[in-house]
Amino acid sequence: MVETTENSSQKPQSFQEIILRLQNYWAAKGCAVLQPYDMEVGAGTFHPATTLRALGSRAWAAAYVQPSRRPTDGRYGENPNRLQHYYQYQVIIKPSPPDLQDLYLGSLRAIGIDDSLHDIRFVEDDWESPTLGAWGLGWEVWCDGMEVSQFTYFQQVGGHDCRPVSGELTYGLERLAMYVLGVDHVMDMPFNAPDAPIPLKYGDIFRQTEEEYSRHNFHAATTDMLLRHFEDAEAECARLLDLAPDDTATGKRIIMVHPAYDQCIKASHLFNLLDARGVISVTERQAYIGRVRALAKLCADAFVQTEAGGAVA
């Protein structure tokens, strides 16, 4: 059952229907609908479709769901709003179109938020990712006092000025869906249609995994191993970018930005796990963040040397 934007006047019935409507909406607005990045990331921004594609001069428009992990937010599935694994919906358009706010409001209508009944507000909230060396100005969008999205005009990524500027939208899908569906506890939210032959709730799919990962993240993960992997990822990222661009096998110029960036993402997630295990002191924390940022910067520096990064071949 695929909903389209035409019958958006009807309230969606499930979590997945909200996702499908967003996919259809942004597809109709011309975005390439990508699939989630196949690695553990802290937020949709880490997807190379955002972090790297925000750099350089080439136009870009993409939308995708990104499963995101924040180990410290685990609550064993008991907290009504907090999860260590959740979904973000991410839209990035470069250059940011002049009607991006209207496009965004259209997406809210598409998922059944009628702005003639609700109070929708753009409240100052500047975004910064110390690990990515990125920042932008924008808002958190409030619907009746609840934050439903983050809206950002990227100014810098990996220490590089964004020219042109990308407009980035991030929807916290569970929270938004709970609001639209009128559900108080995330685990009670219908994932597929409630009248499906086998109706599934969010909790049917994720309660057990939240428990397992909460225990793992807070108490079980082997910290020595995590530290070692962090060091490995850090070294590998730098090493890959240090290799000469000329590939001896093909004779082509191939800078391995994405493989290197994968290692940067890994380092970032490993840091988050170490943080959840409580083995990073306040002072060390800054140092670790700085190390991940240094990797992100290396990747950004390399990406702008490539064709996708706008370099002239």
Partner 1 sequence: MAIRSRPVAHPHLNAERHIMADLLIELFSEEIPARMQAGACDALKRMMTDGLVERGLTYADAQAFATPRRLALAVHGLTDHSPTTREERRGPKVGAPEKAIEGFLRSTGLRLEDLETRDDKKGQVYIAHVVTEGRAASAIVAEVLEQTIRNFPWPKSMRWGAGNLRWVRPLHSILCILSNDAGAEVVPLDVDGIVSGERTRGHRFMAPDEFSVVNFDDYAAKLKRAKVILDPVERADHIWNDASQMAFAAGLELVEDRGLLTEVAGLVEWPVVLMGRIDAQFLGLPPEVLQTSMKEHQKFFSLRDPKSGQITGFVTVANRETLDGGATILAGNQKVLAARLSDAKFFWDNDLRAVSDAGLEGMGAGLTAVTFHNKLGSQADRVGRIEALAREIAPRVGADEELAAMAARVAKADLRSEMVGEFPELQGLMGSYYARAAGLPDDVARACLEHYQPLGPSDSVPSSPVSVAVALADKIDTLTGFWAIDEKPTGSKDPYALRRAALGVIRLVLGNAVRFSLSGLPVQRHLIATLIILKGLEFHRRGEEIASDGLLRLLSAEEIKELSYRLVDSDQGWSEAQLFERMDEIAANLLAFFHDRLKVHLRDQGIRHDVIDACLAMPNNDDLTLLVKRAEVLAAFLKTSDGENLLQGFKRANNILTQAEAKDGVEYSFGPDPKLAEDGAEAALFVALDRAEAAITPAIWAEDFASAMGAMADLRAPIDAFFDAVQINADNQILRRNRLNLLHRIRAICLQVADLTRVEG
CA distance 91 to 7: 22
Please, which residues have CB within 8 angstroms of residue 265's CB and are 6 or more apart in sequence? 37, 39, 40, 41, 46
Q: Which of 137, 196, 200, 256 binds partner 1 (CB under 8 A)?
A: 137
Distance CA 77, CA 212 (A): 9
Verify binding: residue 282, partner 1, rule CB under 8 A. yes
* Residue whose C-alpha is closest to residue 76's, from 211, 206, 187: 211
CB of 26 to partner 1, least distance (A): 19
Choose one: 29-37, 191-199, 257-265, 281-289; the region binding partner 1 (CB under 8 A).
281-289
Of positions 149, 155, 214, 272, contacts partner 1 by CB under 8 A: 155
* CB closer to partner 1, 7 vs 281: 281
Distance, CA of 24 to CA of 100 (rounded, Å): 17
In angstroms, what is the minimal distance from the CB of 68 to partner 1? 20
Smallest distance, Å, CB 8 to partner 1? 17
DSSP E strands: which ranges in the chain? 32-33, 60-69, 85-94, 120-124, 127-129, 134-143, 146-157, 160-161, 167-172
Backbone torsions φ then ψ of 190, nearest 5 degrees: -65, 125
How far apart are CB 100 and partner 1 at their closest, in Å?
8
Residue 122 in the binding site for partner 1 (CB under 8 A): yes
Determine the Cα–Cα distance for residues 175 and 149; give it in Å rounded to an integer: 10
Closest to 210 in 3D by CA, of 86, 88, 89, 87 = 86
Minimum Å gap between C-beta 137 and partner 1 is 4
Backbone angles phi, psi at 16, to 5 degrees: -70, -30
Residue with tokens 């993409």: 62
Which residue's CB is nearer to partner 1, number 249 or number 282? 282
- Does residue 239 interact with partner 1 by CB under 8 A? no
Min separation Cβ 283 and partner 1, Å: 6
Q: How far is the CB of 70 from partner 1 (least distance, A)?
A: 17
Among 10, 244, 283, 313, binds partner 1 (CB under 8 A): 283
Dihedral (Cα; 299, 305, 309, 313), 10-degree rounding:
-150
Considering the rule CB under 8 A, would residue 279 count as an interface residue with partner 1? no
Given 20, 120, 238, 308, the residue binding partner 1 (CB under 8 A): 120
Q: Which of 295, 291, 262, 261 is nearest to 274 (CA)?
A: 291
- Determine if 10 is a binding residue for partner 1 (CB under 8 A): no
Q: How many residues bind partner 1 (CB under 8 A)?
A: 37
Applying CB under 8 A, does 136 fall inside the site for partner 1?
Answer: yes
* CB 74, CB 276: distance < 8 Å: yes
Residue 165 touching partner 1 (CB under 8 A): yes
Examine residue 5 and tell whether it contacts partner 1 (CB under 8 A). Answer: no
Contact letters for partner 1, residues 178-197 (x by CB under 8 A): -x----x-------------
* Least gap, CB of 162 to partner 1 (angstroms): 8
DSSP element (H, E) containing 257: helix 257-276
Residues lying near partner 1 in the complex (CB under 8 A): 80-81, 95-98, 101, 115-124, 126, 136-139, 143-146, 153, 155, 163-165, 167, 179, 184, 281-283
